[in-house]
Chains A and B, each alone.
Chain A
C-alpha cells in the first residue's frame, strides 16, 4: 500500500516536472529565436542548459520506469524512447560532449571546421572556428570546381525616374523602353569578356585565359535614330557612364556549385565524389559539405567539415519518434489495435 502511494506520488511529481520542463523549453526556444542563431547556440550549449538537458533525459527515463501506460502503448513508448535517444545523440555530438570524450578516451576529433582548397591542390588542414588548425588523417584533393547558372540570366534596366525593366539576357532579345528612351537589344553574351583596341575601334572578345568575366553587349537605339553600344558586367552591377540616363545590371542566379574531390590516403585515391549543396561527402567519420566558394575567379572551394559522432544516434531517435507518433495517433486506430482505450 505504502509503495503504491509512493509510486503515485512519484508519478505526480514526474508529470508536473515534465510539464514544467516543456514550458521552460518553449520559453527558452522563443528567447533563442530572438537572440539569433549564434547566440542561441552558445545559450543552449551553456552549463546551466547542459544541466537542463540532463534533467530532461533523466525525467524521460524515469517516466518509462514509472508509467506502465508508456509500456502498454507501443507508440507512446517509442515517442519517449526516441526523445531520449535524440537527446543522447545531441549530447554526444555537442561541444561539451566532445570535450568530455576527448578527456576520457584521449581522442582529438575535429567537431566542426572548414577547409579552403585551391583547384588541383591537396589539403589536410581544417580551420576550426577559433583560428586553430587541425590535420585530418587523410587528404582532400580538389580536382575541379564548377559553378552552374540558370540560363539565360536577366538584364535589368533602371531609368532616372526609378522605372525598372527586366529582360531575359539572351542575344536577339529586344525591348522598347518608350518614346523618349528608345529601345535596347542584346547583341552578344560573354563568359570571359575582354576588350582590345584595333586602330580606333574597341573590339570585345572571349578570353578564357583571363578568367571569368560575364558580360552582355547591348545596343541602345534612341528615338532620334542614334545607336550606341554598352557593355554590362555581372560583377559591376549598376555601372553607368556619367552621361547615361539608364542604369544596367546583369544578374545570373547560381543553380549549383560543385566540388569534384578525391580522398587521398597514403598516396592512394580511396574515393571520388562531386560535393554539392545537399550532397555532402561522408568519409572517415566526417561529413564534407559545400559551404562556399571563390566568387571572383571560381578557383577555390570552401568545404564545411563536421564530425558524424552522435549523428546516427540522432537519426535513430528520429525514426523511433516518427514511428511512435504515427503509430500512436494514426495507425493503431486504422489497424484496430487500440491497446488500452484512452
Chain B
C-alpha cells in the first residue's frame, strides 16, 4: 500500500516514513501544499497523512481538492498540532477518515490505518489468526476451535491493539491512550490497565498456553509471534 505524507516538518516525516516502510508501506513525501497537490493529482494513494499547517497554505484546501476529484478512494488521516475540537469536527465533516493530534504514537497511527483499511476495503477475511485464536474484528469476537472466548470490550481492544503491533513492546501509557482515548489528566501511570490485562490473560490461558503474551517489566506488554 502506498502512503503520501504531507508534512513540512522533515524530521517527523522521516520518522513516520521509517516506521511505515518497516510495516511494508510504500511512502512518498510532500513538504508543501503545491507539491502535495501535484502528487495527489497524478497518483492514487491508499493513505494521505495530512498536516493542516503547511508553509504555503491550509491542509484543508488539499482535502477539498481531493474530494473534488473523481473516483478517488484515498483515505485521509489529518495529523495536526492544532488539536482543536473544532478542527477535528470540521476535518471529519469535510471527508477526512480520521484525525490524530500531534504528538501521536506511531503504533496508534498504525492501528488507525488498519481500522480504516478494514472499513474501506471490507477485507474478505476479517479474521486474524494467532496461535489458534481467531480474532474477528468486525464482530469483535475471539474464537478458539469454534468456541467463543468471552472478552469485555476493553479486553478485546487491548488484545487487538497488541496483536496489531505484534513483536513490539507497547507501553502502558500507549495502551491506555489507545483504549481510553486522549483524556486529559487520566492517570496513565496507574496500573489499572494491568487489571484488564490480567483478566485477559486469565481468560486466554483457559484455552491455550500464553507464553507468547509477554509482560515487559515496568514498561508494558508484547505479543510475540
User: Is chain B found bound to chain A in the same assembly?
Assistant: no
Query: Could you list which residues of chain A lie within 8 angstroms of chain B, going by C-beta atoms?
Result: none
Query: Could you list which residues of chain B lie within 8 angstroms of chain A, going by C-beta atoms?
Result: none
